[in-house]
Amino acid sequence: MWCEVCSHGIIGPYFFENAKGRTVLANVEQYKVMLVTFLYWAPSRQQVLLCFQQDGVTAHTAEISMQVLRTVFLGRLISRFGDITFPACWPDHGVPDCFLWGYVKSKVYETHPANTAD
């Protein structure tokens, strides 16, 4: 799953699935499709001084992914091979993750799902 947490709110979530609708680990091509889907959501994205932070997973740091990110976040890409170097296991990286999972859990349990599909 991927999502963006920013001052505009939460963008996504995006679930990586195969042709049968089953959740899968994202490969480079799936990650690129997700980036193009969500990073171009606002035409004014270029004017807003947002940074993009990601870890060092291979799909994230592959050249094809980095090209898409550099196009949108000129000089503001925080990543293993980004404009601003960011190690994969940095302690601050957990803060967005902790917020996201708490938020998602609160939304899921608002309706008291009866089964996994719900």
Model confidence, pTM: 0.65
* Angle value at C-alpha 90, between 38 and 63, nearest 5 degrees: 45
| CB burial readout 52-79, b (16+ within 10 A) else e | bbbbeeebbbbeebbebbbebbeebbbb
* Angle value at C-alpha 14, between 96 and 85, nearest 5 degrees: 45
Tens digits of per-residue pLDDT, 35-64? 888 776 554 555 567 788 887 788 888 999
Residue 98 has pLDDT above 70, yes or no: no
